[in-house]
Structure 1
Amino acid sequence: MTETFLRNKQWFFDRWAPGYDCLFTTVFYQAVHKRLLEYVQLKQEANILDLGCGTGRLVDRIAKQFPTVTATGLDLSEEMIHQARARNRYPQRLTFTPGNVESLPFGEHQFDAVFCTISFLHYPHPQRVFEEINGVLRPSGCFYLADYQGNDSTGQTWVPVSPGGLRFYSRSQRREFGQNVGWSCVGHYHLLGPILLTKFQKFNGENN
């Protein structure tokens, strides 16, 4: 990501953060998260990562449903992280840190599962994000990508809404991103309207 792009995105979400959890976003994300968690399987004491965590609603719901997991939420916006920390109901198990998804500040093979819910559409270099996740995801770990679905016939859809625009990817494009880092695409699942979940699993091999 370029410095200008990062600054513009951070400025946009820093300004939005204090009022981010309005009635519409609360109801919308609650519905998406509820459907998403129907497809999530986590082992005891799993360590998970949520990319573009915003105010931390997803990891809060995961912590409630899976009482032995630990989780880290990462977001480019420091104000979003401030809001997430202030609302953290599970401080012994949940941590939040500012960071760039294209340069993840974590150790190799640190997480059992990685989540990205309606934030992948902001990232200008999607394949690089998959490569970064591959580095921090443990063998046999899963990546849950939930975002607006692009059209398979037209490929990537670009929408100039936020700074840098939004990008929607089709099932085949998502699958290709995963295949390029040696993952298996477990399946695609409709969550709510145009929101599609694609679940990947990293192979349990020496090269991953």
Structure 2
Amino acid sequence: MTQEFFRNKKQLFDHWAPSYDWLFPSVFYQAIHKRLLEYVNLPPQANVLDLGCGTGRLLNRLADRFPDLRGTGLDLSSQMLRVARRSNRHHPRLIYIEGKAESLPFADGQFDAVFNTISFLHYPEPKQVFAEVARVLKEGGSFYLADTSIPNQAELQFKQIIGGIRLYSQNNRELLGSSCELKCVAHHYLLGPVLLTIFTKSV
């Protein structure tokens, strides 16, 4: 995928960043995060990663729920990260860094859980993202993927639609997981077509 693709995505989210938490997505994400938290199970003193963390709202909510949690947020947009750092209520437990989901700047087996919320649809290399998630997860760790889904019968696996957005069915997600030894353990609809799929890394 060309550098131009990533540059355009970065510019789009950099532009949104100053007003992002006042726009409709903020209300939408709040509802999704509330439902998502009902399904999160973490070990004591968990170390977690939020891919496509945006302005950091999910990590702040996770840190509220789990007082001994440590978290890292990663995003392509420097301006989103600036907002996240400014609103970080749990420093130094939470940190935010700039980077790509396709080439994570972390060690193997570093995290107990990885989260990705309404961000996966933007990734041009989904198999590579899954491989990187599997790499940085500890054995027995969990991957929480929440994004807009499509019916299995739609058969739009990896199909690119308007604006470079890609949508995946339950079957698509399970295939992506199995390709890198991430086992799908559950699907839960959170809000409308937004589907949470939970994976675990084989021990």
With the shorter chain as reference, the TM-score category is over 0.9
The offset of 1:155, in angstroms, is 2.4
1:47-196 matches, cutoff 5 A: 47-156=47-156, 158-161=160-163, 165-196=164-195
For residues 5 and 57 of structure 2, the distance between their equivalents in structure 1, rounded to whole angstroms, comes to 25
For 2:31 and 2:185, how far apart are their aligned partners in 1?
22
Q: Distance in 1 between matches of 2:4 and 2:13?
A: 14
User: Amino acid of the residue matched to residue 194 of structure 1?
Assistant: P
Matched, 1:46 2:46: yes
Unmatched 5+ residue regions in structure 2? none
Deviations for 1:10-39, whole angstroms, at most 9, x for unmatched residues? 011100111111152221111000000100
Q: SS in structure 2 opposite 1:127? A: helix
Partners in 2 of 1:187 and 1:177 — Cα distance? Answer: 14
Write out per-residue CA displacement over residues 48-99 of structure 1, whole angstroms, 9 at most, x where no aligned residue.
Answer: 0000000000000000000000000000001111110011001120000000
Q: Answer 1 or 2: which has greater helix percent.
A: 2
RMSD: 1.0
Deviations 1:98-143 (A, max 9, x none): 0000000011100000000000000011111000111100000000
Query: Gapped runs of 5+ residues in structure 1?
Result: none
TM-score by length of 2: 0.96
CA distance in 2, matches of 1:116, 1:197: 10
The reply to whether residue 10 of structure 1 matches residue 16 of structure 2 is no
Query: In the superposition, relative to structure 1, how do residues 100 and 23 fare at CA in structure 2: closer, same or farther (>3 Å)?
Result: closer
Look up the match of 2:25: 25
Q: Which residue pairs with 1:199 in the alignment?
A: 198
Q: What is the TM-score of this pair, normalised by structure 1? A: 0.94
- Report which stretch shifted further, 14-23 or 194-203: 14-23
Distance 1:130 1:10, change over 3 A: same
Query: How many residues get paired?
Result: 201
Identity %: 54
Greater alpha carbon shift after TM alignment, 23-32 vs 175-184: 23-32
Is the partner of 1:100 in helix, strand or coil?
coil
Q: How far does residue 182 in structure 1 lie from its aligned partner after superposition? A: 1.1
1:150: how far off? 1.9
How far is 1:184 from its partner? 1.2
